[in-house]
């Protein structure tokens, strides 16, 4: 039996892997290990998790790497523990303490009132310890050199923000928050901003991502040799699907637009839509552009 060639993108599986990331691993570490397990170099991830964070990290393998942006754009859900009264340079427990405040008298009701002001569309300034690029360099690279640069605010949306006490916690200065948010939201920044709104400061003591769209932590797996690869169509159920007949099937595999008659205008007006064959094979993902429903990604092409 011949061995797999990890440099051949046609070898190895095509699908998604829902990983429960361990603390201490970077997202790049997870991808590197997955390449060895899956036997292919064609592996990527749908959105970075901080090294200290745990939880759902979705990997794409083979042809699914072309679809990762559709996973990335889904809403995220996080559970975080926030410590009031202590600011760090990384906005989490991995950083060095920069400022302390006396916030021992802050009540849960005050925290909830401050947090409520962040629900809806807001702007965030990316933390210095992040993967955002400024003038071609990652912010975390500049931070390691002791540099701080101006960062432009970015629009994000907090869809849900629930604050609660942590059972068994000995101090009222630590609270739990569950956040449902748009892609690109920094939970470290949110925690720090709530601390500032309360007249002091804060940092994240712990962070766990519990879901990306319908891909929730109950489906996440430890990264080992028995890991399951989820079919592309199964992992993308957050998007509406259109089943095409054999005639439209041929057009789709040639990268052509599909008929407007196939689309319900009340569902995802601009898309994306999963284009599926009568045999339940994902053929492509289409979006509305220039007044037509065109392919954003073709999975099965006429030359396949």
Q: Say whether pLDDT at 2 is over 70.
A: no
The phi and psi torsions of 48 (rounded to 5 degrees) equal -65, 140
Active site residues: 50
Split at pLDDT 50, 70, 90, the class of 190 is: very high
Give the pairing of strands 76-84 and 202-212. Answer: antiparallel
Determine which of 5-19, 169-183, 243-257 has the lowest per-residue pLDDT on average.
5-19
Split at pLDDT 50, 70, 90, the class of 1 is: very low
Summarised one tens digit per residue, pLDDT across range 94-141 is 999 999 999 989 999 999 999 999 999 999 988 766 666 665 666 556
Q: Which CATH architecture does the domain made up of 76-212 adopt?
A: 2-Layer Sandwich (3.30)
The token pair that represents 269 in the structure block: 């007006």
Intrachain domains 15-74+213-235 and 76-212 with the same fold: yes
Summarised one tens digit per residue, pLDDT across range 46-100 is 988 988 999 999 999 999 999 999 999 999 999 999 999 999 999 999 999 999 9
Domain boundaries, the chain: 15-74+213-235, 76-212, 241-298
pTM: 0.89
Residues ≥6 apart with Cβ < 8 Å to 289: none
CATH number of 15-74+213-235: 3.30.2350.10
Q: Buried (b) or exposed (e) across 221-245, using 16+ Cβ within 10 A?
A: eebeeebebbebbebbeebeebebe
């Amino acid at each position: 039996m011949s061995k797999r060639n990890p440099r051949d993108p046609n070898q190895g599986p095509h699908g998604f892997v829902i990983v429960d990331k361990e603390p201490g691993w970077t997202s790049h570490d997870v991808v590197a290990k997955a390449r060895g397990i899956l036997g292919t170099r064609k592996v990527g991830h749908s959105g970075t998790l901080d090294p200290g964070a745990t939880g759902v990290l979705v990997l794409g393998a083979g042809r699914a790497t072309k679809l990762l942006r559709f996973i990335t754009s889904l809403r995220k859900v996080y559970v975080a523990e926030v410590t009031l009264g202590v600011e760090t340079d990384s906005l989490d427990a991995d950083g060095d303490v920069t400022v302390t405040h006396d916030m021992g008298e802050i009540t849960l009701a005050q925290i909830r009132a401050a947090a409520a002001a962040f629900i809806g569309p807001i702007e965030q300034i990316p933390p210095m310890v992040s993967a955002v690029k400024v003038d071609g360099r990652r912010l975390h690279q500049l931070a390691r050199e002791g540099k701080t640069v101006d960062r432009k605010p970015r629009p994000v949306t907090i869809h849900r923000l629930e604050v609660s006490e942590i059972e068994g916690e000995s101090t009222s200065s630590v609270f739990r928050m569950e956040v449902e948010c748009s892609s690109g939201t920094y939970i470290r920044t949110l925690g720090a901003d709530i601390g500032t709104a309360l007249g002091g400061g804060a940092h994240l003591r712990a962070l766990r991502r519990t879901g990306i769209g319908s891909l929730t932590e109950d489906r996440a797996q430890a990264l080992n040799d028995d890991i399951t690869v989820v079919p592309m169509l199964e992992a993308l159920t957050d998007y509406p699907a259109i089943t095409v007949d054999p005639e439209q099937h041929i057009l789709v595999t040639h990268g052509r637009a599909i008929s407007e008659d196939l689309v319900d205008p009340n569902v995802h007006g601009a898309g994306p839509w999963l284009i599926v064959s009568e045999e339940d094979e994902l053929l492509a993902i289409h979006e509305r552009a220039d007044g037509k429903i065109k392919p954003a990604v073709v999975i099965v092409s006429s030359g396949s």
